[in-house]
């Protein structure tokens, strides 16, 4: 039997609950499709940090990189100062494993309520640059605590990173037979913007079948609400992708309904729901497992289990309407999906 080696990082807050749901659904798919998952658990996150002072060691990184995929629940805890886990674990994993594509699909599932009456037209995949931009970690503070204090955050944009994310976007748009929209702010951030525009014109030329559009980030936020069907494949930088993917999630029923993939094609990649650790509802059973389960489906596609991925997505679609907030517990919703996937 084909066996895939999977690292599981349940993490903080609701992470362990939704991860348990994802593993339940994965088990059902593996049984139905006849493959096996060899799961190794990794204790990373707030508890480990508070116990040992360690966030992510070189040894952790080495061990994680030996799996085919990493399934992550959520990271972040009010007991730990902001940034330590987010930057030290999540952003570091994305960077060190060179997971340069952050793939974030948002599609309204049938039966799920949206704040928009026209949101049924929203079926977008955000292709977020995942290693650079304002999240590169560079910057400085001068004269801290004084009346002259200055804080600088550097946005790094290199041709290798920009061109590979734009190429990934075009390949995806060609495969989906859809248009590609570049989202940026080229009228103000003209240095980084011109790098993206150059990539669009040079690489876009290789994809004559893909229509290209451009929107500034502010206009994109407006249009995604007023004319959602304009957006199919969106390529954008790290910060804009972070924001726009939450907006898109809000339009398809909420952050609990969307999954994501941090991908380096052909290499170990990491899959996580778009939501955070939601410490306020941890342990209550209120967490929606759909985001984690859709991330697990993306993981299956990454390891070559295309049929299993589709099976899991169909199972989610079949029952999503019953997973309205407050109706089912995390476990009940996960069981329902697992059953539909069997």
Q: Which residues bind Mn ion (CB under 5 A)?
A: 242
Is residue 91 near ligand IPM by the rule CB under 6 A? yes
The one among 90, 287, 316, 320 contacting ligand IPM by CB under 6 A: 90
Distance CA 304, CA 4 (A): 10
Q: Is 123 a catalytic residue?
A: no
Q: Is 42 a catalytic residue?
A: no
Which of 294, 314, 284, 173 has the alpha carbon at shortest distance from 233? 173
Question: x/- binding map, residues 233-262, to ligand IPM, per CB under 6 A?
Answer: ---------x--------------------
How many residues sit close enough to ligand IPM to count as binding (CB under 6 A)? Answer: 5
Distance CA 331, CA 125 (A): 28
Interface segment toward ligand IPM; rule CB under 6 A; list 83-91, 280-288, 303-311, 317-325:
83-91
Is residue 86 near ligand IPM by the rule CB under 6 A? yes
Q: Tokens 């609400």 — which residue?
A: 225
Q: How far is the CB of 288 from ligand IPM (least distance, A)?
A: 16
Token pair in block for residue 66 = 């030996």
Nearer to ligand IPM, 258 or 333 (CB): 258
Q: Tokens 């799920």 — which residue?
A: 112
Distance CA 201, CA 205 (A): 6
- CA distances in angstroms from 207 to 194, 204, 234, listed in the order given: 20, 5, 15
On whether the CB atoms of residues 179 and 213 are closer than 8 A, the answer is yes
Taking residue 284's Cβ as centre, other Cβ atoms within 10 Å add up to 12
Q: Which of 27, 87, 246, 322 is catalytic?
A: 246
Q: Is 246 a catalytic residue?
A: yes
Nearer to ligand IPM, 170 or 240 (CB): 240
Interface segment toward ligand IPM; rule CB under 6 A; list 84-92, 181-189, 199-207, 226-234:
84-92
- CA distances in angstroms from 88 to 2, 93, 143, listed in the order given: 34, 8, 25
Please choose which of Mn ion, ligand IPM, none residue 90 contacts, taking the beta carbon within 5 to 8 angstroms, the exact cut-off set by kind: ligand IPM
Q: Is 242 a catalytic residue?
A: yes
Q: Is 322 a catalytic residue?
A: no
- Annotated catalytic sites, by residue? 135, 185, 218, 242, 246
Residues that bind ligand IPM (CB under 6 A): 86, 90-91, 242, 274
């Amino acid at each position: 039997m084909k066996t895939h080696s999977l690292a599981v990082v349940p993490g903080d807050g609701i992470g362990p609950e939704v991860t348990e749901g994802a593993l339940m659904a994965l088990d059902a798919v593996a049984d139905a499709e006849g493959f096996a998952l060899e799961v190794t658990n990794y204790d990373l996150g707030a508890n480990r940090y508070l116990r040992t002072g360690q966030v992510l060691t070189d040894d952790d990184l080495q061990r994680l990189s030996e799996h085919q995929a990493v399934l992550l629940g959520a990271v972040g805890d009010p007991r730990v100062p902001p940034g330590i886990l987010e930057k030290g674990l999540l952003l570091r994993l994305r960077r060190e494993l060179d997971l340069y594509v952050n793939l974030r699909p948002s599609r309204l599932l049938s039966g799920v309520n949206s704040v928009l009456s026209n949101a049924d037209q929203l079926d977008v995949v955000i292709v977020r640059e995942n290693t650079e931009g304002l999240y590169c970690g560079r910057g400085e503070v001068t004269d801290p605590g004084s009346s002259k204090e200055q804080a600088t955050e550097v946005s790094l944009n290199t041709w290798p990173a920009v061109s590979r994310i734009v190429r990934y976007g075009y390949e995806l748009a060609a495969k989906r037979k859809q248009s590609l929209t570049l989202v940026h702010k080229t009228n103000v951030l003209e240095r980084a913007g011109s790098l993206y525009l150059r990539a669009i014109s040079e690489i876009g030329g290789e994809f004559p079948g893909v229509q290209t559009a451009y929107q500034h980030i502010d206009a994109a936020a407006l249009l995604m609400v007023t004319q959602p069907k304009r957006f199919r494949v969106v390529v954008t930088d790290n910060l804009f992708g972070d924001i726009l993917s939450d907006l898109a999630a809000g339009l398809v029923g909420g952050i609990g309904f969307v999954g994501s993939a941090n991908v380096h094609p052909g290499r170990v990649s990491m899959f996580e729901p778009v939501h955070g650790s939601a410490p306020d509802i941890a342990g209550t059973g209120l967490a929606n497992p759909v985001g984690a389960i859709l991330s697990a489906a993306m993981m299956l596609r990454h390891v070559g289990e295309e049929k299993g991925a589709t099976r899991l997505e169909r199972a989610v679609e079949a029952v999503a309407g019953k997973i309205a907030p407050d109706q089912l517990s995390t476990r009940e919703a996960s069981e329902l999906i697992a059953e539909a996937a069997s």
